[in-house]
Structure 1
Amino acid sequence: MNTNEGTVDLVPDATVENVARAALLAALTGAFAYVAFPNPVSPTDITLQVLGVFLAGILLGPVWGGVSMTLYLVAGLLGAPVFLGGSSGLGAFVGPTGGYLLSYPIAAAAIGAIVHGGRATRDPGSVGLLRLVGAMVVGTAIIYALGTVGFALAANVGLYEAFLVSAVAFIPAEALKMAAAVGVVRSDAIAAS
């Protein structure tokens, strides 16, 4: 009797780890949506979601950072209460914050590409402060650009007015989120040494 035993190639460990990390950062971003503060000069609250975008790009790189934020959007689209104030569904994408949401995968990918210098990832703790902050500034510019357009369309206002209330009004909060992201990366690098 001839029995052939074959082997089955499983999903590589690195892929499983990256999927798990992407899902974790997507869930963290959803949790950050519940941390909201009123913005006195904008009808849109300040949340910590953008901190999740920063961390996804920095920690996961361009590919998996973008995947993470795409998972986040798909979860919200399918009804998980992961957007501002526990909202979800298609309405969030056509409302005043829809442009921000749609920008998250693009911004995370751009941040990751700048931090890691391409598609391959490296230890983000070894990246210089200027590069980290520069990457987050680029990511913020992407978020503000799409967020401003989305807000202008949803609120039926001009781009200048939309830019003032949906971008400029958030600059101090984004600076604090950048500092927090740097702190996370630096504390991880210190703990590893």
Structure 2
Amino acid sequence: MEKNVAHIALFAALIAALGLIPKVTLAFGVPITAQSLGVMLCGTILGSKRGALAVLLFLLLVAIGLPLLSGGRGGLGLFVSPSAGFLIGWPIAAFVTGLIVEKWRSAPLALVASLASIIGGILVMYVFGIVGMSITLEKSLVEATGLVTAFILGDFLKAIIAGMLTSAMAKARPSSVLSRSEPADAV
């Protein structure tokens, strides 16, 4: 139990640390940050449940006002900003990413983790992000989808990095990739 809590806290801190990499804010108010890589890694390394819990812990800290998002942002106001859909989608993205890595064991881990990051960390996250931007920016879903295209290349690069890092960790220290080393229901 204590190990799980430590892993969850460590990965929440990883997401916060990735916020130190300078953000690039786009004209419509949603920044490009490295923190979505942290969300992907939560899923690929910790697995579905622990990964989602790490992201939820991070978002709780942001909601109470800690300036942990890229650019030193924090507070409840972020959950009604153009970024709100992405933030709300982060725990679900980590869960889906982790679930895929836990269940798909027949292919090389680098490939599985990269594809899981694309499905969970990009597609799932974009669904929430597009809906959130549509609501907060008062745009149609088609217009909001067009805005999201600015993120695609960077997010695919992050998904590949997540796959490579997860595979490297598994080779260096197999027990560190909890999504593969323990039963999926062990939390």
Q: Which bracket does the TM-score occupy, shorter chain normalised?
A: 0.7 to 0.9
**Match for residue 116 of structure 1 among 102, 110, 114:** 102
Looking at structure 2, the residues matched to 192 and 38 of structure 1 have their Cα atoms a distance apart, in angstroms, of 34
Structure 1 position 80, deviation (Å) = 1.0
The answer as to 2:26 corresponding to 1:21 is: no
Instruction: Calculate the TM-score normalised by the size of structure 2.
Output: 0.84
* Amino acid corresponding to residue 147 of structure 1 in structure 2: G
Report the equivalent of 1:177: 158
Structure 1 position 129, deviation (Å) = 3.4
> 1:155-192 deviations in whole A, cap 9, x for unaligned?
11111111111x21111101111121122112213323
Report the equivalent of 1:162: 144
Gaps of 5+ in 1: 1-14
Gaps of 5+ in 2: 175-187
The answer as to 2:67 corresponding to 1:50 is: no
Report the equivalent of 1:192: 173
Taking a change above 3 Å as real, the CA distance of residues 145 and 68 of structure 1, as seen in their structure-2 partners, is same
Looking at structure 2, the residues matched to 135 and 183 of structure 1 have their Cα atoms a distance apart, in angstroms, of 12
**Match for residue 142 of structure 1 among 109, 112, 124:** 124
Aligned pairs, how many?
Answer: 172
Q: What is the percent sequence identity of the aligned residues?
A: 35
Q: Secondary structure at the match of 1:80?
A: coil
Taking a change above 3 Å as real, the CA distance of residues 68 and 40 of structure 1, as seen in their structure-2 partners, is closer
Taking a change above 3 Å as real, the CA distance of residues 179 and 149 of structure 1, as seen in their structure-2 partners, is same
* Amino acid corresponding to residue 144 of structure 1 in structure 2: Y
The answer as to 2:104 corresponding to 1:132 is: no
Contact 1:57 1:112 in 2 (8 A): yes
Report the equivalent of 2:91: 105
The answer as to 2:63 corresponding to 1:77 is: yes
Instruction: Calculate the TM-score normalised by the size of structure 1.
Output: 0.81
Aligned-residue Cα RMSD (Å) equals 2.1
**Match for residue 134 of structure 2 among 152, 175, 192:** 152
Higher-Rg member (1/2): 1
Kindly indicate whether structure 1 or structure 2 has the higher relative contact order, using CA contacts under 8 Å at least 6 residues apart.
Answer: 2
